[in-house]
Each structure stands twice: as structure tokens, then as C-alpha cells.
Structure 1
Amino acid sequence: MGQMNNSSSNGLSRRALLGAFAATAVSAAPTFANAAGFLRGGGDIRRIAMYSGRTGESIDTIYWIEGQYIKEALKEINYFMRDWRVDESITVDTRTIDIMAAAHSLLDVNEPYMLLSGYRSPATNAMLRSRSSGVARNSLHMKGQAADLRLKNRSVSQMFKAASACHAGGVGKYSGSNFVHMDCGVVRTWGS
């Protein structure tokens, strides 16, 4: 199903959001109870595409079909989103993958995400925390519940609005560093 290889707006209304899911056969939506409305008419396939400038790897995989997650695809995603600094991976929370895929679908772009940070080992998180005040001590990255993402063809503001429209987790806007944080924690937003 998937493949991994080495190779180097405006505000969104509820109607537009629902239409985005209904209008596409390849879509994704968060699995949270408060986001159940986004699933209606959303198609029966979920796909995620990303690349990593750090490792040179890319992934483009269908990870959910007709109500079922595909175990092999999730294993590929877990490995892809590993902490590359220590080559460690854990099980990434499927809710985070769903949020990422839903936001990507809303952005109506073919470009894969650039993954800046997925899973972080406690050692990596501590190292990053010593260098930046923006790294949380108990970061959801350490639980496989967060990702920091970038797109070349969409602004940080556009990505932030799309992820926020899912109402399914935390969304942080880091305009100065040109990325958006998405997680499956408590619904909240931050950043400028």
C-alpha cells in the first residue's frame, strides 16, 4: 500500500469544511467524538504523504480503508516519524495522523508535508528544551502524539486555520520558524 524511499487563506466556514470532506474520495478526519460530523461523506480512504529533510526519506501511504487502519502502513508511519537523532520509534497515535491528514485535505494541495519533528525520545526532548524555551517539558512528541509540519505552497497561517478547523487537538503556529504543530491533546491553539 505505502511506499517509503530515500530521495532527497482565508478562514474556513463549517460548510466549506464539510464540503471539503464530501468532495474528495481521498480524505481523512479526526476520530474524536466531537469531530464525528467531519466523517460524514468523507470517503472511505485516508492517506498521508510526508518527507524528511533530515533523513532524505519520504512516505506516501493509504493508512485507513473503509473503517480499518492498515497495520503495515501504520508501521511505516511509525518508523518514518521516529526520532532520527537516536533512531528510536514508538507507536504514533492514529488520532494525530488523522488530524494531519484532515488538515492536509482541507488545504487542497498535492505537496507532501515536510516533517520537522514527530516522535522525540526523552533525551532528544531534553536537549531541545535546553536550547529553546518553546519546547515543553512533557511534550506530546514524547508520546507519539504530535508533529511539527511545514508546506512550501501553503503559509503557516493557512495550515494553522486548516488544523484548527478540525477542532480535534492542539495547534500551534510558529510563524518565525515556519511550521505548525499538530497534536491529539486537548483542543487549544497558540502562537503568532
Structure 2
Amino acid sequence: MYSARTGEKLDMIYWVEGQYITDALNEINYFMRDWRTDDVKNIDARTIDIMTAAHNLLDVSEPYMLISGYRSPKTNAMLRRRSSGVAKNSRHLRGEAADLHLGSRSVNQMARAAQACRAGGVGRYSGSDFVHMDCGPVRSWGS
């Protein structure tokens, strides 16, 4: 992944032979922090797994661009004031969600890959050109 917000890049193996690699997860937590406040929260490994599985299904070498990972309550409240599309109890607040973009794949292609995982929520945000993936109940929304 890379972050257009911070300029940071992340390329690693986070899981080997059935075990998560703690140092790798810690790097992911920092990378997916709230870049506005610099607050870090543990990102649920199930969300990382969904992101990885969807990326593999898309058969791309291009890294995801991270739009939003963890959001502090302060950031989420600010975004809610600016947009009706931000949930009050967003899974971003729990470290359970990511908003992602790929230049080589459409929002619909990315959403279909994430939905094929049958493992969480998938939101299509075609107007903003990103897909929301989370490890909550299986559901989908948007167009």
C-alpha cells in the first residue's frame, strides 16, 4: 500500500504458515493511523486479510492507495460535519475498516472482489473512486 496523504509506502509479508507477524502488524497499525491526528490503533487482522484476499483476486501488482484507515473520534466527527456519507459509529473508529483505491481497477471490480470474500462490509463510492472494506457483518452498499 501507499498513502498519498503521508507519502509512506508499505510492502511486507504479515502472515506466514498460519501465524501473524507481530512486527509487521505493528507497522501496518502505524501506516493506517489517523494521519490528521497521528493517533494509532490496532487494525483488526481480519480487515487486513480481506484487503489482501481481494487484492489477490484482482490479480494486480499495483499497490492499494490507502484513503482512510483508522479514524480518531475527532477526525470522524469532523468528516461527519462535511459529508452525510460518514457513519457516526464507523468501523474506522475501531480499526476495522479501510477505504482503498486502485488506478488499474474500477470501483465495481474492487467491490466485487471484496464481496467474493464473503467476510465483511463492502461500500462502493464511485463518485470518490474508492471502496470501503471492513470486517463487520457481511453487507454491501453504494453504487
Compute the TM-score of the two structures, normalised by the length of structure 2: 1.00
Root mean square deviation of aligned Cα: 0.3
In the alignment, structure 1 residue 98 sits paired with structure 2 residue 52: no
In the alignment, structure 1 residue 140 sits paired with structure 2 residue 70: no
Other structure's SS at 1:58 match: coil
Cα shift at 1:91: 0.5
In the alignment, structure 1 residue 114 sits paired with structure 2 residue 65: yes
Q: Give me the whole-angstrom Cα distance separating, in 1, the residues matched to 2:18 and 2:111.
A: 27
The 5-angstrom pairing of residues 69-88 of structure 1 reads: 69-88=20-39
Q: Give me the whole-angstrom Cα distance separating, in 1, the residues matched to 2:80 and 2:136.
A: 20
Q: Which of 12, 17, 37 does residue 66 from structure 1 map onto?
A: 17
Query: Which residue in the other structure is 1:160 paired with?
Result: 111
Compute the TM-score of the two structures, normalised by the length of structure 1: 0.74
Deviations 1:95-129 (A, max 9, x none): 00000000000000000000000000000000000
Deviations 1:37-96 (A, max 9, x none): xxxxxxxxxxxxx00000000000100000000000000000000000000101000000
Q: Give me the whole-angstrom Cα distance separating, in 2, the residues matched to 1:127 and 1:61.
A: 32
Q: Give me the whole-angstrom Cα distance separating, in 1, the residues matched to 2:48 and 2:11.
A: 13
Higher percent of residues as strand: 1
Return the letter of the residue paired with 1:93: D
Larger Rg: 1
Q: Give me the whole-angstrom Cα distance separating, in 1, the residues matched to 2:35 and 2:72.
A: 10
Return the letter of the residue paired with 2:44: D
Percent identity between matched residues is: 73
Query: Which residue in the other structure is 1:52 paired with?
Result: 3
Deviations 1:138-158 (A, max 9, x none): 000000000000000011110
Q: Give me the whole-angstrom Cα distance separating, in 1, the residues matched to 2:12 and 2:71.
A: 22
